[in-house]
């Protein structure tokens, strides 16, 4: 899956677009297979009200693991994302706890009204878990949900989570299930890197956590960007640049107190890093918060450009659009 | 994943056939005739329209007979316990028909008649477009058209999970058939053989920009639903006898299929001077005409031997 990228990265062979389910793991990185599907099966053993629904993407969202374990609690709705959300709303009304999967592009772009009116407005307990968030597919704009958070952040009552790694996905599943009301969770699927288990970290909805300290730069990061920011911080550390990484797993509601406290400290450069367009995501959420509260550090964003992005191999695209470790480190250095 | 191939096979959960032995709707034994219920639903709706000086009164008058049969013949529910688990669910997808459903809920004793005065006012439990959070007995928030049937699919699946014999009724409209999400739900309901789901389509041939049939070809509507795997009936939606038979058939027919009752209705039915008014989605009624309309309704009802 990630083979095309890893083999070619040291050679001259041109990288090729990998499969739709391209892994974001770097060569040699420790990974866990299908952390979402496995965690859901584990939880569902003691929670009979949990059901799974998908729109012809069970295999590509790791929900097939649940479907195999609980075939009579799995609802294949076909390629009908509107029905997917409506049916989940109806099941939730009848006491089920639906976990709904599709790609982030389809949930956010195609099914928006159904998430908003059938689920969120009614405060229903539906958990929407979407693969291929931001730039995690080389297929081009049809599959790259670069603006899903911008689309969904404006929806009242919706909790939005962007987990960083396999460890966090596994921890988020029971937390999301225990959380009353609708949740949108971005999903890294397939063989997902393990990163956060090396840190003193406990996932909690609505809570930001500082993963490392540094005197020069505060990187506020979410999802995949946290993983990359941690590595970039190590690289910058070697150059004598101290980088704190504040991980924001919950984009809505924001842990405002933690962000304000960190941003007010030591007059550091503040960089917000996210696997999402520069518009309407964590960066603008943090910027708005800081400005409202009168905290105005030097501020930069590491985010995808406001553009329909290229197709291609993920490592190439991450380098091109600034999500690779090296490009992150270089830009932060330049901004200092 | 489950294999669903044979649409003739019965489902494993309680079937409609088994349900036929259970008592009918909550009000089925009432000695108030359904025509009287329909008359009073129309009357309540006109009084709400008068309060606001406007409202979707043509639709309300048109659908009153369907609601009378639904609430006072078919549905099992408890007026004093709208969340009773054993109730049949009635979903109003067409949120702007709320004025009609409020009238039925008032007639059923779910809502007090005194709240007619608050219709559409600030702080009222009876907003212009129906919303679950505002009104007891309003199961879902309608209004964003194309939602009700799909939510009904989910509720029907959810009821089967619970081995419940409750039914899900969803009222939507011919204009709403323009929404692609309706057809996703139509396919899904047939695929899952939801014999506990009963769709009611109000065909009044009117939507916001004109006659529904001119805006998007609708016919042959019965054949369309049949081809999608539904049990189909088409009736005069202002004929109470025909509606009773259709609801009974939809409840008791053995086929493991979702059911649809296509109801051809007449806008503003029961008030001739409004029936013949220029057709409009949002019927204009002059301030002095509300009482005149109620008078016409009263006269016709009593002339036909009503009480």
Q: What is the pTM of this model?
A: 0.93
Task: For residue A36, give the CATH number of its domain.
Answer: 3.40.50.970
Q: How many residues does chain A have?
A: 336
State yes or no: pLDDT of B4 exceeds 50.
Answer: no
Residue A1 within a domain: no
Q: How confident is the model at residue B1 (pLDDT cuts 50, 70, 90)?
A: very low
pLDDT in tens, B204-242: 999 999 999 999 999 999 999 999 999 999 999 999 999
pLDDT in tens, A79-135: 999 999 999 999 999 999 999 999 999 999 999 999 999 999 999 999 999 999 999
Helix H, strand E, coil C: the string for chain A is CCHHHHHHCCCCCCCCCCCCCCCCCCCCCCEEECHHHHHHHHHHCCCCCEEEEECCCCCCCCCHHHHHHCHHHEEECCCCHHHHHHHHHHHHHCCCEEEEEEEHHHHHHHCHHHHHHHHHCCCCCCEEEEECECCCCCCCCCCCECCHHHHHHCCCCCEEECCCCHHHHHHHHHHHHHCCCCEEEEECCCEEECCHHHCCCCCCCCCEEEEECCCCEEEEECCHHHHHHHHHHHHHHHCCCCEEEEEECEEECCCHHHHHHHHCCCCCEEEEEEEEECCCCHHHHHHHHHHHCCCCCCEEEEEECCCCCCCCCHHHHHHHHCCCHHHHHHHHHHHC
Task: For residue A284, give the CATH number of its domain.
Answer: 3.40.50.920
Task: For residue B180, give the CATH number of its domain.
Answer: 3.40.50.970
Q: Report d(CA B104, CA B81) in Å as an integer.
A: 16
Residues 150-189 of B with CB under 8 A from A: 150-159, 161-162, 180-181, 184-185, 187-188
Residue B8 has a pLDDT of: 35
Residue B26 within a domain: no
Are A260 and A214 contained in the same domain? yes
Residue B279 has a pLDDT of: 78
**How many CB pairs below 8 A link A and B?**
97
Are A38 and A178 contained in the same domain? yes
User: Mutation test of the interface with chain B: which of A52, A94, A100, A156, choosing the one with the most B Cβ atoms within 10 A?
Assistant: A94
Number of CB atoms found within 10 A of residue A269's CB: 17
Are A30 and A148 contained in the same domain? yes
Residue B124 within a domain: yes
In a 13 Å sphere around the CA of B199, the CA atoms on its Cβ side amount to 37
State yes or no: pLDDT of B66 exceeds 60.
Answer: yes
Q: Which range among A284-288, B273-277, B289-293 shows the weakest confidence by mean pLDDT?
A: B273-277
Three-class secondary structure of residue B135 per DSSP: coil
State yes or no: pLDDT of B293 exceeds 80.
Answer: yes
Which residues form the domain of A316? 200-335
Last residue of a domain, one of A172, A193, A214: A193
pLDDT in tens, B67-88: 999 999 999 999 999 999 999 9
Whether chain A has a CB inside 8 Å of the CB on B134: the answer is: no
- Report percent pLDDT > 70 for chain B: 92
Which residues form the domain of B56? 31-303
pLDDT in tens, A218-254: 999 999 999 999 999 999 999 999 999 999 999 999 9
- Rounded mean pLDDT, A4-14: 52
Q: CB–CB of A90 and B154 under 8 A?
A: yes
Q: CB–CB of A78 and B191 under 8 A?
A: yes
Residue A250 within a domain: yes
DSSP E strands in chain B: the ranges are 89-92, 168-173, 197-203, 231-236, 259-264
Are A163 and A212 contained in the same domain? no
When the pLDDT of each residue in chain B is averaged and rounded to a whole number, the result is 91
- Determine the residue of chain B that is closest to A79 in CA distance: B184
Q: CB–CB of A86 and B147 under 8 A?
A: yes
- How far off is chain A from B59, nearest CA to CA, in Å? 23
Q: Report d(CA A3, CA A279) in Å as an integer.
A: 32
Q: CB–CB of B154 and A87 under 8 A?
A: yes
Q: Chain A residues with CB inside 8 Å of B150's CB?
A: 82-83, 85-87, 89-90, 114, 118
Q: CB–CB of B161 and A118 under 8 A?
A: no
Residue B108 within a domain: yes
State yes or no: pLDDT of A203 exceeds 50.
Answer: yes
Residue B113 within a domain: yes
Last residue of a domain, one of A193, A219, A251: A193
Residue A27 has a pLDDT of: 84
Residue A83 within a domain: yes
User: Mutation test of the interface with chain A: which of B12, B84, B86, B150, choosing the one with the most A Cβ atoms within 10 A?
Assistant: B150
State yes or no: pLDDT of A192 exceeds 80.
Answer: yes
State yes or no: pLDDT of A11 exceeds 70.
Answer: no
State yes or no: pLDDT of B11 exceeds 60.
Answer: no
Q: How confident is the model at residue A6 (pLDDT cuts 50, 70, 90)?
A: very low
State yes or no: pLDDT of B111 exceeds 90.
Answer: yes
Residue B15 within a domain: no
Last residue of a domain, one of A193, A210, A238: A193
Beta strands B197-203 and B231-236 are unpaired
Tell me, what's the ipTM?
0.93
Q: Chain B residues with CB inside 8 Å of A90's CB?
A: 150-158
- Determine the residue of chain B that is closest to A116 in CA distance: B144
- How far off is chain A from B218, nearest CA to CA, in Å? 21
Residue B17 within a domain: no
Residue B8 within a domain: no
Q: What is chain A's alpha carbon radius of gyration, rounded to the nearest angstrom?
A: 19
- Determine the residue of chain A that is closest to B93 in CA distance: A118
Q: Report d(CA A50, CA A96) in Å as an integer.
A: 6
Residue A310 has a pLDDT of: 96
pLDDT in tens, A16-75: 776 555 678 888 889 999 999 999 999 999 999 999 999 999 999 999 999 999 999 999
In a 13 Å sphere around the CA of B85, the CA atoms on its Cβ side amount to 7
Number of CB atoms found within 10 A of residue A1's CB: 14
Q: Based on the structure, what is the number of domains in chain B?
A: 1
Q: Chain B residues with CB inside 8 Å of A91's CB?
A: 154-155, 157-158, 161
- Determine the residue of chain B that is closest to A75 in CA distance: B1
State yes or no: pLDDT of B189 exceeds 50.
Answer: yes
pLDDT in tens, B129-150: 999 999 999 999 999 999 999 9
| Among the partner residues B133, B150, B180, nearest to A86 by beta-carbon distance | B150
Are A255 and A289 contained in the same domain? yes
Residue A5 within a domain: no
Residue B25 within a domain: no
State yes or no: pLDDT of B98 exceeds 60.
Answer: yes
| Among the partner residues B2, B144, B153, nearest to A83 by beta-carbon distance | B153
Higher pLDDT, A256 or A2: A256
Among B63, B87, B25, residue whose Cα is nearest residue B248: B25
Q: Report d(CA A83, CA B181) in Å as an integer.
A: 7
pLDDT in tens, B203-214: 999 999 999 999
- Rounded mean pLDDT, A284-293: 98
Q: Chain A residues with CB inside 8 Å of B156's CB?
A: 90
Q: Based on the structure, what is the number of domains in chain A?
A: 2
């Amino acid at each position: 899956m990630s083979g095309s990228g890893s083999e070619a990265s040291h050679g001259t062979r041109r990288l090729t677009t990998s499969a739709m389910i391209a892994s974001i793991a770097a060569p040699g990185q420790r990974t866990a297979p299908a952390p979402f599907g496995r965690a859901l099966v584990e939880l569902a053993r003691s929670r009979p009200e949990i059901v799974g629904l998908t729109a012809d993407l069970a295999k590509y969202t790791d929900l097939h693991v649940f479907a195999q374990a609980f075939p009579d609690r799995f609802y294949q709705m076909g390629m009908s994302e509107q029905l997917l959300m409506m049916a989940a709303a109806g099941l939730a009304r009848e006491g089920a706890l639906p976990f709904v999967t599709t790609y982030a592009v389809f949930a956010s772009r195609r099914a928006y009204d159904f998430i908003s009116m059938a689920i969120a407005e009614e405060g229903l307990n539906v958990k929407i878990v979407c693969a291929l968030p931001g730039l995690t597919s080389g297929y081009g704009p049809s599959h790259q949900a670069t603006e899903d958070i911008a689309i969904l952040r404006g929806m009242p009552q919706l909790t939005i989570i962007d987990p960083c790694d396999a460890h966090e996905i596994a921890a988020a599943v029971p937390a999301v299930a225990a959380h009353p009301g609708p949740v949108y969770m971005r999903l890294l699927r397939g063989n997902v890197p393990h990163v956060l288990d090396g840190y003193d970290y406990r996932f909690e909805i609505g809570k930001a956590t500082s993963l490392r300290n540094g005197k020069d730069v505060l990187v506020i990061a979410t999802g995949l960007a946290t993983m990359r920011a941690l590595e970039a911080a190590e690289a910058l550390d070697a150059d004598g640049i101290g980088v704190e990484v504040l991980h924001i797993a919950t984009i809505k509601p924001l842990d405002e107190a933690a962000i304000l406290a960190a941003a007010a400290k030591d007059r550091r450069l503040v960089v917000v890093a996210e696997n999402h367009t520069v518009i309407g995501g964590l960066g603008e959420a943090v910027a708005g918060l800081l400005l409202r509260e009168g905290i105005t550090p030097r501020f930069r964003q590491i985010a995808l450009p406001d553009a329909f992005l290229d197709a291609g191999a993920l490592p190439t695209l991450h380098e091109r659009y600034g999500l690779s470790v090296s490009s992150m480190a270089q830009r932060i250095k330049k901004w200092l | 994943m489950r294999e669903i191939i044979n649409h003739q096979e019965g489902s494993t959960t309680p079937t409609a056939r088994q349900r036929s032995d259970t008592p009918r709707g909550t009000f089925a034994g009432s000695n108030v005739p359904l025509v009287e219920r329909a008359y009073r639903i129309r009357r309540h709706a006109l009084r709400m329209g008068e309060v606001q000086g406007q409202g979707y009164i043509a639709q309300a008058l048109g659908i009153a007979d369907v609601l009378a049969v639904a609430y006072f013949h078919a549905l099992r529910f408890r007026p004093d316990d709208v969340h009773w688990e054993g109730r049949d669910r009635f979903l109003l997808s067409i949120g702007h028909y709320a004025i009609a459903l409020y009238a039925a809920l008032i007639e059923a004793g779910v809502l007090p008649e005194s709240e007619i005065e608050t219709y559409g006012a600030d702080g009222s439990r009876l907003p212009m477009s129906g919303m679950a959070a505002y009104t007891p007995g309003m199961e879902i928030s309608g209004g964003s058209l194309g939602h009700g049937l799909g939510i009904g699919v989910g509720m029907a699946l959810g009821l089967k999970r619970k081995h419940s014999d409750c039914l899900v009724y969803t009222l939507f409209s011919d204009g709403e058939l323009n929404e692609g999400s309706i057809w996703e739900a139509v396919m899904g309901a047939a695929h899952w053989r939801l014999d506990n789901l009963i769709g009611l389509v109000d065909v009044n041939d009117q939507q916001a920009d004109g006659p529904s049939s001119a805006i998007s070809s609708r016919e042959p509507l019965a054949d369309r639903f049949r081809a999608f795997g539904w049990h189909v009936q088409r009736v005069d939606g202002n004929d109470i006898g025909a509606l009773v038979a259709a609801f009974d058939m939809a409840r008791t027919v053995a086929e493991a299929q979702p059911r649809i009752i296509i109801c051809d209705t007449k806008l503003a039915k029961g008030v001739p001077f409004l029936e013949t008014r220029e057709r409009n989605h949002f019927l204009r009624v002059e301030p002095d005409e509300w009482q005149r309309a109620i008078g016409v309704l009263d006269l016709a009802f009593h002339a036909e031997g009503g009480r």
